[in-house]
């Protein structure tokens, strides 16, 4: 039994050695094939980066990078300096005060003349400020009472240089007249409450004086007539006589009778 087993083990070991030798030969052959392929294939771009055509290469070259788009420090500094040196817009009233000096033939502090229709467009061409600020400053001027009063039908309008620029039509004059009436009505309504407030005070004073005058008369009691007092006295005496006597009163009366006898 031992001999066949030993023969079988030797056969298996021999087969194992042959298998290992064949495996080593296959590994060497595989390495040799890899070297041959590496020597035959030319050097190309790594597989991770896709191949680009001519058109794509031109497009990528034309597109600026992020570093190119980012503004330089000098440009940022110049913009910040320009923002600091830019003049701040004035208030509408301050701008109107400048117009009094800049356009003395159009904007008056005393006797006023109607302005040209669309004069805000002329101001926008000459001024550096926004149209909104110009319209607000112009509104402060045209809402002045003296300007509203100057808007008469047929009055001559003027431009920024004081030259004639049309006349006030009927509709504009009527609108200005309505504005004058509205302002006068509002002023009257403001003054009315003060006078009305005084009247109730006066009426309250008069009422208090009347009540003070009438108070002493009402406070004096009315005189009672003599016969009314006499009648009331008789009623009280009758009430006292008709009042029932107590036991002590009866005993006291009996004692008085006996002592008198």
pLDDT tens digit sequence for 128-148: 889 999 999 999 999 999 999
Is 176 or 186 the better-scoring residue by pLDDT?
176
Chosen CATH of 92-182 out of 1.10.1710.10, 1.10.10.10, 1.25.40.80, 3.40.630.30: 1.10.1710.10
| Residue 149 reports pLDDT greater than 60 | yes
**Which segments within 23-168 are labelled E, that is strand?**
156-158, 164-167
- Residue 99 pLDDT: 94
Predicted confidence band at 238 (pLDDT cuts at 50, 70, 90)? very low
pLDDT tens digit sequence for 193-203: 554 545 545 55
| Residue 217 reports pLDDT greater than 70 | no
Spatial CA neighbour of 180 closest among 141, 152, 209, 156? 152
What are the boundaries of each domain within the chain? 92-182
pLDDT tens digit sequence for 28-73: 888 888 888 888 866 555 545 555 555 555 545 555 554 454 555 5
- Residue 204 pLDDT: 55
Q: What are phi and psi of 112, to 5 degrees?
A: -115, 145
Distance CA 164, CA 156 (A): 7
Q: What is the 3-state secondary structure (H, E, C) of 22-57?
A: HHHHHHHHHHHHHHHHHHHCCCCCCCCCCCCCHHHH
Q: Helix, strand or coil for residue 141? A: helix
């Amino acid at each position: 039994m031992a001999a066949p087993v030993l023969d079988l083990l030797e056969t298996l070991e021999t087969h194992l050695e042959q298998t290992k030798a064949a495996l080593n030969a296959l590994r060497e052959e595989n390495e040799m094939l890899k070297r041959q392929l590496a020597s035959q294939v030319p050097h190309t771009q790594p597989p991770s980066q896709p191949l680009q055509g001519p058109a794509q290469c031109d497009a990528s070259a034309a597109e600026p990078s992020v570093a190119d788009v980012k503004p330089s420090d000098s440009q940022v500094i110049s913009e910040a300096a320009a923002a600091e040196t830019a003049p701040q817009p004035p208030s509408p009233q301050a701008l109107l005060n400048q117009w009094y000096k800049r356009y003395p033939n159009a904007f008056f502090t005393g006797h006023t003349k109607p302005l040209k229709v669309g004069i805000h467009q002329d101001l926008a061409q000459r001024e550096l400020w926004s149209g909104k600020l110009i319209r607000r400053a112009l509104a402060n001027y045209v809402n002045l009472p003296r300007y509203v009063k100057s808007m008469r039908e047929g009055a001559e309008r003027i431009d920024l240089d004081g030259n004639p620029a049309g006349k006030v039509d009927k509709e504009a004059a009527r609108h200005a007249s309505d504005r004058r009436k509205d302002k006068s009505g509002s002023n009257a309504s403001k003054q009315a409450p003060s006078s009305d407030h005084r009247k109730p005070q006066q009426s309250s004073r008069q009422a208090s004086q009347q009540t003070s005058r009438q108070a002493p008369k009402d406070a004096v009691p009315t005189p009672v007539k003599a016969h009314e007092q006499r009648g009331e006295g008789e009623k009280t005496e009758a009430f006292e006589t008709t009042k029932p006597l107590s036991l002590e009163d009866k005993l006291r009366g009996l004692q008085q009778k006996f002592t008198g006898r």
